Structure 1
């Protein structure tokens, strides 16, 4: 009994060592640490909301149906837009990995026979004070999946197409002013992107711009597939305030970016095919710096590239004259099954690794206008046959 009493007295003596001042100090430090933790939590939530504004839906979100409509102005439309140049913006001198580099437009299968489904949500805004166009890719929904993997790895390729004529007549040529790509979202049929891109653009040029969104399926070991496209001409929209739209994906269409005068000649005795690049006409935006052009000719048989050659670089004009002929040795059987791909590239002579694809021409034996040129070549052996072809992208 004496032993326990001693312990109780000792414990009481220890408790008396802490004065009232010390107790209030410990309580104050605890409250301060709690406030610091609360502030950090609020800051992290604020950063999350700013980096992913797509997760905060406004009251006036457009319905899932196709087409576009003018949205009501909400708090989100009053937010300050940050013109931050993202690291994945495509620039001619960029050395970063390009998700679209392994995609070949002429290898695209006939998507009209495939099932195109899904929609894409994005927003457009033109800041008149800073003369900048802001494009934000928000999300996609209900994308088609691949049959063999039952999944899809989507990303979005964005192009600003500048029309040669302001009235957008049929047959008008276009020039690609800027290209961007969003980040890759793996294994998602309804991916959330939230990527924002911006560029300087004069107000008088806005009416000539068409924004083209191409949703692609990433493939590491082959060519990227196309899940559909959505395009919006800016001449029909009022984008002085941020405008959010949702568009159903459509079958991709190629755009005319130029034309080329090509010549074909086949010599059956020596089994030689001669492809001549005579002239190339392209549309170039007046504000673009000095550029050079060259063409690469590839011969393909049964989807296997046999050989290729390229022209010399020429300074880019409205009509660039080459007058160069490339010779390919092909057996008689291959000449009847092969196809020719002419790829036109532009580059800046002052920069290294600035190659940029303008468009392509595909000459093959099918029911197209290019087939007519091929038939004329086979009917007029040993004679060069020249014909204009559209450059498409």
Structure 2
């Protein structure tokens, strides 16, 4: 019989109007709920600590890469300052080489983690060079996903002169791409590429390997590169090598004579593509060139135009002016990227990037052209620029 009579409540004690069995049930349920809440609280604390640790590691990685970008930029600026001390005219001598501006920032030399294993073989009977990309190890991640989707871009660079020095131009003979390996810092590729190459040309060739990270929504990132010159290298038998990845460098593949003119009243920027000097392998069939100019502002492409196609010569003359309508705030913040492409007349859908020029407002000698344009409004200012890849 449950007693429902009213009982006095004193301070510090509560008298329940239930039987003893129901009181024990309520206490048991309360204890169970308390333990469940305590477990959830411990689990949330554990997740918070784990996430904080992972975020700290990711931030450290990005900080290291940011430092690498500054190093790479300073290196390129230093080289271009040396280059522009010389007269920028075809046939002039160069003291420093600068290399694929279509990529995002590269890591610092001491932070360019990982290595690449590959093999080289020259088949003298068939006059073919065989390049095999085997695997990579300990690649660095480059974003908060803490993963990397690597692939390798292989380029064969052919030098204009027998002894490849800093004054010789180069051209891309062939380029290949390995398969993509998702979410692996130590991917295994096993991809093999080959091309016909005369034995006397082997000494002029440099094989350049770029390890890139695939990005579906942005430009590919570069994790590092390694290169090997075939000069005095014994590859009559398969030679297997493993190289540590280094900071990407630029290769000079030509020169472009550009003119810049800005008219503030009509807010018009005129980019003149006058001449393009390149070097091409003698065995290459007839090719065509064209240039594409893009205006970039706050990492966004505002406008772009391209020249007509011209038959490729050692000195290809265009004499074309590309006009962009830009307001005054945009002209002070934007930059210009000139891409030069090679086309095969019989295969108009396929194109090959020859090189790139990046013009922007800055303090380096390479960007001196921009400053001269802003100081001499309504007047075309012409200057030679190195074409890099």
TM norm structure 1: 0.72
Match of 1:324 in 2: 320
Kept in 2, the 8 Å contact 1:106–1:362? The answer is no
Match of 1:134 in 2: 130
Match of 1:165 in 2: 161
Kept in 1, the 8 Å contact 2:205–2:229? The answer is yes
Instruction: Return the alpha-carbon distance in structure 2 between the equivalents of residues 383 and 286 of structure 1.
Output: 39
Structure 1 residue 312 corresponds to structure 2 residue 288: no
Query: For 1:353, what is the secondary structure of its paired residue?
Result: strand
CA shift at 1:142, angstroms?
Answer: 0.5
CA shift at 1:106, angstroms?
Answer: 4.5
Query: For 1:298, what is the secondary structure of its paired residue?
Result: strand
1:237 to 233, 238, 254: 233
Match of 1:256 in 2: 252
CA shift at 1:349, angstroms?
Answer: 1.4
Structure 1 residue 208 corresponds to structure 2 residue 204: yes
Query: For 2:349, what is the secondary structure of its paired residue?
Result: coil
Kept in 1, the 8 Å contact 2:106–2:224? The answer is no
Instruction: Return the alpha-carbon distance in structure 1 between the equivalents of residues 364 and 357 of structure 2.
Output: 12
2:339 to 333, 340, 343: 343
Q: How many aligned positions are there?
A: 290
Distance 1:113 1:159, change over 3 A: closer
Cα shift readout 1:263-315 (whole Å, capped 9, x = no counterpart): 00111111111100000001110000100111011111111111111111110
Unaligned runs of 5+ in 1: 1-103
CA shift at 1:146, angstroms?
Answer: 2.6
Query: For 2:133, what is the secondary structure of its paired residue?
Result: strand
CA shift at 1:236, angstroms?
Answer: 3.1
Match of 1:268 in 2: 264
Kept in 2, the 8 Å contact 1:279–1:320? The answer is yes
- Name the Cα RMSD after superposition: 1.3
Kept in 2, the 8 Å contact 1:282–1:318? The answer is yes
CA shift at 1:367, angstroms?
Answer: 3.4
Instruction: Return the alpha-carbon distance in structure 1 between the equivalents of residues 214 and 207 of structure 2.
Output: 21
Match of 1:365 in 2: 361
Instruction: Return the alpha-carbon distance in structure 1 between the equivalents of residues 110 and 363 of structure 2.
Output: 20
Match of 1:68 in 2: none
Cα shift readout 1:183-216 (whole Å, capped 9, x = no counterpart): 1111111111111111110000000000000000
Query: For 1:354, what is the secondary structure of its paired residue?
Result: strand
Instruction: Return the alpha-carbon distance in structure 1 between the equivalents of residues 269 and 167 of structure 2.
Output: 31
Match of 1:387 in 2: 383
CA shift at 1:365, angstroms?
Answer: 1.6
Kept in 2, the 8 Å contact 1:263–1:277? The answer is yes
Match of 1:150 in 2: 146
Cα shift readout 1:223-262 (whole Å, capped 9, x = no counterpart): 1110000000000311011100000000001111111000
Instruction: Return the alpha-carbon distance in structure 2 between the equivalents of residues 205 and 392 of structure 1.
Output: 22
Structure 1 stretch displaced more, 232-241 or 359-368? 359-368
Unaligned runs of 5+ in 2: 1-99
Instruction: Return the alpha-carbon distance in structure 2 between the equivalents of residues 241 and 109 of structure 1.
Output: 37
Instruction: Return the alpha-carbon distance in structure 2 between the equivalents of residues 114 and 301 of structure 1.
Output: 32
Instruction: Return the alpha-carbon distance in structure 2 between the equivalents of residues 190 and 286 of structure 1.
Output: 39
